Each structure stands twice: as structure tokens, then as C-alpha cells.
Chain A
Amino acid sequence: MAYFRPKEYCQPSNIAEFFDLLSKYQAKARIIAGGTDLLVQKPFGTECLIDISGLGLSYIKKTDSGIHIGATTKVVALENSPLLAQNPFAVLSEAAHAMAGPTVRNMATIGGNICNASPAADLPIALMVLNASVEIMGPGASRSLPIGEFFVNVNKTALKDDEFVLEIRIPRSPRSAGTSFLKLRRHQTAVDLALVNTAVSVEKTGNICDNVKIALGAVAKTAIYAIEAQKYLIGRKLDPEVIKSAAKIASDESQPINDIRGSADYRRRMVEVLVRRAIETCTRRCQLWEN
């Protein structure tokens, strides 16, 4: 019987201490910030829990280059932050609001959510359309990875065993980008893993699409960009027929599976519906900013 019985719990007060612990336990250490995924999964073989909430990584900062969010920032903070209330960052606070429920959002962290790398997670797709990057730190060096490259497989990220996520950076965006986040649940119930979720960001001049990002969740091994749909839209008029076609292309790009929540076939159809609706919303929101 698999049992979760770590022998140690440590709360390092600085990064050097943290790396000492990590190098001591390596794959037998698990980082805990909120704990809302870890304490459900209870991974067998965990020997040391390293609590990083003492490392000063809970912040949402506005800088010249954009917005920097510390890895242990609680999801509720993303929901309520005035810095994220504005377009286009609002897609992240919308995603945060759609995630789990309010009590869980008091505990869960953005770092924990992206490191868990569930293909159905809500924050990753919002971060993807915001062109976010993940600041990764190792014992010797640091590196930055575009969020789209951070997710490698189901519950697997590009992190090496001796690395951790320091912060997430969202670059400055033109104000006129319209964004949308949509999550399909079972019968619109309040708490559910996404059957399909999508985040979209659109920039346009007049009615012509200048730039677009479409991120899909729950329909592949990781969150993915609908690359062909994105390519299709750029330079085209954002009229209903085009939007419909783009949604169909996105749907064809998705690779959903059958599981207890829904069939692959249904999910594929819903990608089309959600992406269409999301692009329509983005277009409307762009208009708002223009006016």
C-alpha cells in the first residue's frame, strides 16, 4: 500500500538553504507552497517536504517590462489584483476566478498550478496567450523559458530535478488586445475540471486581425497553442465566416481523449464552439478599447 510518509518538513528562509535541501534529497524532495495538489496526490516515496513560502516569492509587481508574479503568489491574489484587472491581463484574473473554488484559491499558488502541469489547468492557457515566461532557477544558473515550452507532458514540466520556478513574467502588451477565457464544465456546475477550456487574445486594426493567440486546455497531453488556427487568422478580416473557420481549424488541431468527464468527440466539437465564442468576445472587447 502506497503511503505518503515524508520524514522531514523544512521551511528554508533563503534560496541557498533551499538548494542545499534540494541537492540532499533530489527526487525524494517535493516542494510545497499551497499543497492543494500535493496533498491530494500524496506521491509515494517522498522523503522531504520543502516549504518555499518563506522565500519571499509572493508578489505581483509592475515593472518596466511588464508584470512579475512570484511563484508562491496565491491564486486569490491573482483574482483580486488591481494590476491584473486591466485588459489584457484580465484574462489571467478570469482564469484564476474560474479555477477550483474560493477556499482552494486561498491556498493554491500560481507556481504550484503550473508545476503540476495538468493539461486541463486554467492558469496555463491564460499565461500562454499573454506570452508569459517562466523564470527558472537552478543551483548554478537561472534561465527563462517561454510558458509554451514549459509544459512537456501530463503532469510533467521542463524543470530539471534540481530546478524550481522563481517567478512568472508577463510582458507589456498593447492595451488594445482583446482577451477571453472560457471554461466548459459539466452542466455549468461551479466546481469542475475543465472539459475543455480556452484562452484567446486578439489584436486588430479595423477589422483585420494583426495578432492572435489561441491556447487550448484539456484536449492534449499539455496545454497547447492552436498554431494553424492562429496562422489562419493573421491578416484576415474578423467576420463570422472567418471566425467559424478558425474555430474549426483549432478543433482539428486538438487531440482529446475519452475519459470519465467526456468523450474525445464531444471535446473536439466543444473546442470549435468555445474558440468561436472566445474570438467573438475578444473582437468585441478590442472594439471597447478602441472606443
Chain B
Amino acid sequence: MKTDYLVVGKSIPRIDNIEKVTGRAKYAIDLTVNDMLYAKILRSPHPHARVVSVNADALKENPRVRAIATIEEVPKIAGMWFSLRTEKARKKLYLKDDIVRFIGDPVLAVAADDEETAEKALSLIDVEYEILPPLFEPLESMNRGDVAIHKGGNIAFRVSKIYGDPEKGFGEADYIFENEFNTSRQKHAPIEPVGSCIASYEIDDTVVVHSSTQLPHWTQIYIADILELPVNRVRIIKPFTGGAFGARCGIIHGLEAMCCVLSRKAARPVKMSFTREEDFEATEGRHPFAVKLKTGVTKEGILTAHSIDIVMDVGGYGTHHVGVLADALSTGLGLYRCPNVRFEGACVFTNKAMNGAMRGYGNPQINFAQESQMDIIAERLGIDPVELRLRNYRGLGEIDPVFEDTIKSDGMKECLRRGAEGIQWAEKRGKKEVEGTKVRGIGMSCLSHGTGASLALPDPASAIVMFNSDCSVNLVTAAADDGQGNRTGLLQIASEELGIPMEQIAISPTDTATTPLDGGTHGSRQTYAGGLAVRKAAADAKASLFTIAARFLKTDAKDLNLKNGLIYNTKNPSISVSLSDFMRKIEIEDMSVNEQIIGHSTGVASGMPTTFGANFAEVEVDTETGEVRVINFVSAFDVGKAINPANVEGQIVGGAIMGIGFALTEEMVTINGKIRNAGFRDYRLLRACDVPPVQGIIVESDEPTGPYGAKGIGEATMIGVPAAIANAIYDATKVRIKDLCITQEKVLEGLRSKE
């Protein structure tokens, strides 16, 4: 692996740091445009109802109320961009009816001259509901034929797959383990609330939408379809975004679509900003999973058969559920080599706030189940947990059964080894430290996660590189940055490929009017897919440059190279011209040429390379109260190549903390359809004093298909964390918690039942 890169592999400070530290960066919540109206949503107080009538006559008196739009006029998204592939599926993507399906589901929206008028207007509207029976539990909902949350029943999607011969596989097992695991509803809760947007429907039937969406181009199509406009008349502009983690993976339920329709009606721009409470109550969360896991192993710990039953709680509407279940299938089967697998999954509608994409998609949930199970197996068989993983994980050269992609780079062994060293696994494992009423233990987990979605979903990436007459370069890409720092990474890749300093390259803002088709920032894909596109566009630009330079230098284009601002013949370096002289010549000076060097690339990556990782946690449990404190954490990830190590480490630490939250403190609590903790007081994020020291280890296995060897990282960093914590708690206390989140009451309950 080549290691002498100029900028790739360096922890270059992010390009937008200065705007952010000075308070100049504008986020969607900060934006204003001239003449704009403010919109507010009237939300259903019922978990399941038909909207019989809406009487807004009282609003006619108020000239400051400019428009109203109901759900009968504004479709909701009921799927994901996979459905754009066929006309039939596309029609089903947009749902327009008179039913509300969770407490907080939008009924209508009002646009007024100011926020207070909009808010007060809602209380003057009379809505008549026909209450419908609500269903809150997936297991009940899937069996109730008499109450249909959606036409077509309450099972939104089902997967049933058999690989090999599971019955035979279980027959060959020396031991069989059967356990049930449950994961809770986690919420992204980025510090910029989900979400805000401004829609300006112009007089010429074009619409400009300022939205923080992670998927500007799919959003462009959604809006075009909703407004029945050609795609080129819809412009999505993405400002700085205050975190996403999957919360903005599409359009927000009730936000962009409502704003667009209101703007068209009022003939003025419309801004809507959800409050934090609305974010918690009415936007997507992580799908809770109920997992039944049956695993057969030989006495050497080799997996012979696996049976996985998943019931997913979708909530009132399904957007990403198919993808999430498919992800649980591919990652659940992908991590370990197992010839015989039975997989059953059901996505079930319930009358609660909907679920969607959240960091890790379906992997954190299935990983929690699998990695807890592996820990149980390791103990029973007397095999070291790390060793058990080494014996079973699917690695280099192997093919995953779902996408049939071959693993071309594999750093798992190094992740496990260095992670174990970091936490002092050999020294501390099994030596339960006790101090007063506190006990300590360590646990681990491993994981694998695909990069991007090119084998599962439409997943394009494009880039354009333009040289200017002064040798500065414009990199044009729609790569959406929600804080990951991918724009800095892409600049590094462009700089490395072009041989031009980063300071000389500017990256475009994300704007569908000018930046070419991109699949969005999700699925850990941007550095990989975006990076490949940037690298190819840069190479394409260089090729154009060399073609023209060859004419001027009267030499062979294929012998030319660009380095340190000089275009030169590698075989005869004296044949050269400075880039600056040359650019000025062709773009301005020589009037017979006057052309710009432009390179471009567009397409889809050929695979979804596997990112490997291992997590090691040390916890301290107070045996009298059940309180758990994570006191040390080590995470190692094989990222192929760290384009920007500081950014990778940022993902590792951030992901670890989000994962610990998922394990211990983060759970949306819904009782009778009502969310009880729609705020930070009771939906608890960890704070600076709460977090353990996190040691992040970067392993580089050089992925041959990736830009400079890189693979994805964004999601991998939280996937294995809850299992590592649960396994550490078990090591300390011999209490096995199979339901997230792990509250201190559950721990104490477990301890007491042992006495």
C-alpha cells in the first residue's frame, strides 16, 4: 500500500471550521427569506382516526392567515427511493388519504404572516375525527385482521429466506442456544432539531426548497412528483446541517411537502420549523426489533445453523422499513460464516410515531442479539469470546450470501487484536474487580457493515472538476455534509489526484440546480462512492488537460504528469510547462483555444465493501443500585484507508457515545400511543461528564475498490456498542440483560434474582 500521499491520510482541519466557530454558518433553522410566511402543523391528538371534516371558516376573518393545506391535498411519503424504479411502485410511494395514524400525525398546516398567528390559527380550526381502534403492539397488530392501519393490512413487508438446510444444520450441532432479544426505540436527536425548511414556489412554476435533507436529489424527485412538476423545476439547496444520523434521510413527514403546497397556494415563501417537542413526537426513530435467535454450534464453537426471527415495529408509516429489514438480513448473515440459515422477518404497522433510518439501519439491532448470543455461547463452551469471533467471522475472499459480494479487504483480526490489547483483555478478563459495592467487568463485540448501498438501492455518485485560468479548481459535487466532514475528505481526494494543493480547490455548495446526481449522504457511502466519483472526475480533468497540453508541447499525452504545479513529460522532464502559464494560455490568452478544462464522472460503485470493527468495554456496576458506568472503551475499525484520520476518530468517538446511550439511557417511551419523554430531560443523551475515555484504533486493510483504499465508517462505529456493554455487565455481575435499554432497575432486578 502506497503511504507517501501528500494530503490523503492527513488529519487536515475541516474546511468549514471557521464559519462554525464564529457563528457565521447558517443552518436551515437560521434561514430567512424576504416576504416569508410561517407555517404550523395541526397534529392529531388520536393515535388512529379518520379526519371527517375540517372547518377553517374562522380563519377567513384573519387576513394574516394566508394559506391552509390538509393531508387530503399533500401526500405523505410511504416508502423509499427504491420505489422510484418503476411507475407502479412510484405511485404507491405517495399516500394521500384522510387517516391519521399516530398521535402527532399532521392533519393540516397553516401559513401566516408570523408564528404566533399561525399557532393561534390552529386552535380556531374545528376538526371532526372518527376514532378508529388503535393498535400499539406489533405482535397484536400483525394478527388483527379487523383493524387495518393501511390498505393491504398491518404487515408492511415480510421476508422469508432459507440458505442451506437449517434442520440438518441444527442436527449437526453439539449445542443449541435459543434466546430472545429486544431493542428499544432510539431517536437521532441531532442538536439542530428535525427539521426546518423554507419552500419558495415561484410564479414561473419553479420551486426552491432550502432543506437539510441528506438526500437532495431523491428529495428533488419526491417534491417534483408531489407538486407534479418536472424535476428540473425543483431546486433543493442544502445549508449547513446540525447533525442527521438518518433523521433527514428523505423528506420529513409533514415538512417539505406541506411547505411547498402552502407556498404554491399563498404565492409566498413558507418557512416551517419543528420544535424539539415535535422532533421527538412526530419524526422518525429507530425501528425497535424483537429478535428470536436460535444458534447451533459444534463444541469447537463453529456455527452450524442459525435461525433468526425478527418482528420490527414500523409505527404509523413505513419509509425505510424494507431497507432496514434487508440490512438486518444482510448484516445478520454477513458477519459470520454459517452454511445453514433460516431468516424470517416481518415489518408491522402500529399506531405510534413512525420509524425510519437511523445510524446502522438494522445492524445495531441484529448485532445486539447476535453478539449477546455469541457471548453466551463462548461462556458455555469455555472459549474466549475473541477467539470465538475469529473462528467464525466471514473474511477475506469470502462471499456474503445476500448480495454475493466478495470481501476484498479484511482487517478484522487486527481490530480484534489491537482492541483487546487496548482494553487489556487478557489481563482483566475474568478477574472481577470489586471495590465496596461496585464490581467491574469487561466485554466485547465485533461487527461488519457494508459501505454504501450500490447492490441494494439506486446509488449514484457524480462529480465535476473545473480548472480556472489561475489554476484554482472548482470541485462540484452534491455531497451532503451533515457534520461528518466528508466535504473535507473529498477535497483531500481531489487534491491528491490532481496534485494541486487543497487550498487551491473550492468545493461547491449542495444545490441540485448545479451539482450533479448523487445518492445522498447515508449508509456510510459518501467518502467511498463520492470519493470514487471525485477521483474519477479529477482523473478525467487531468486527461483533458494532458490532451491539450500534449498538442502544445508536441508530445504524447500518455507520458504527461502533473506535479507541484508543473505539467511535464515523465520520460523527458525538460518537456514541460507550468500549470499556471498553461491555464492562462488556454482559457484566456490564446483566443483560438479559450476552453476550460472540465472533468466529470457519474455512475455507481461496483460493490459494498465490508467495514469491520471490534468494541471493547469496561464497566463498573453498583450492585446495590444497579447503576452502570462505562469507565473505559476501546474501538477498532478497519476503514480500508483513513482519508482523514481525525475525521475517522471523530466518528469512532461520537459513535461510541451514541452506542453507549442506546445501551444505557436512550429509549423513547410510548404508552397508549403517547410519547412520554418528548424532550432531553427524559430522553437522555450522555454529557461530557458521563462519557468514558474512548480509544479509537484505525486499521487500514487497503480496499482495492475504494478511493485510495477507503471504505465507510459512519455507521459502523455504533453498531457493536450495546452488545459490548451488555457483555461487560454480564462479566461483572453474571446478569444477562436481553432488552435495551439497560436501565439500572433491570440490572438490580437481575442481581436480586440471583440472590
Contact = CB atoms under 8 A, between A and B. Distances in A.
Q: How large is the interface on A (under 10, 10 to 19, 20 to 34, 35 or more residues)?
A: 10 to 19
Contacts of B628: 187
Interface stretch (A79-87, A91-99, A211-219, A259-267): A259-267
Nearest to A192: B684
A263 B745 contact: yes
Contacts of B745: 262-263, 266
A192 to B, nearest CB: 8
A273 interface: yes
Bin chain B's interface residue count: 20 to 34
Interface string B100-142: 0000000000000000100110110000000000000000000
B725 to A, nearest CB: 11
Interface string B664-703: 1100010000001100011010111110000000000000
B743 A190 contact: no
A42 interface: no
A187 B691 CA distance: 11
Contacts of B622: 188
B689 A187 contact: no
A260 B682 contact: yes
A186 interface: yes
Interface string A1-30: 101000000000000000000000000000
B629 interface: yes
Contacts of A193: 681
A184 interface: yes
Contact of B625 (A3, A190, A270): A270
A65 interface: no
Contacts of A260: 669, 676-677, 682
Nearest to A277: B624
Given A186-B743, A186-B744, A190-B690, A273 B681 contact: no
Given A262-B745, A266-B745, A273-B624, A189 B665 contact: yes
B681 A188 contact: no
Nearest to B679: A40
Interface in A249-272: 260-263, 266, 269-270
A191 interface: yes
Contacts of A187: 627-629, 664-665, 690, 744
Interface string B322-357: 000000000000000000000000000000000000
A234 B119 CA distance: 59
Contact of A190 (B119, B122, B669, B687): B687
Given A260-B682, A261-B682, A269-B748, A1 B122 contact: yes
B631 to A, nearest CB: 11
Contacts of A269: 748
Interface string B636-674: 000000000000000000000000000011000100000
Interface of A: 1, 3, 184, 186-193, 260-263, 266, 269-270, 273
10 contacts: A184-B625, A186-B665, A188-B622, A188-B690, A190-B687, A190-B690, A193-B681, A266-B744, A266-B748, A269-B748
Interface of B: 116, 119-120, 122-123, 622, 624-625, 627-629, 664-665, 669, 676-677, 681-682, 684, 686-690, 743-745, 748
Given A186-B684, A189-B665, 6 more contacts: A3-B116, A186-B743, A188-B629, A189-B689, A190-B689, A269-B748
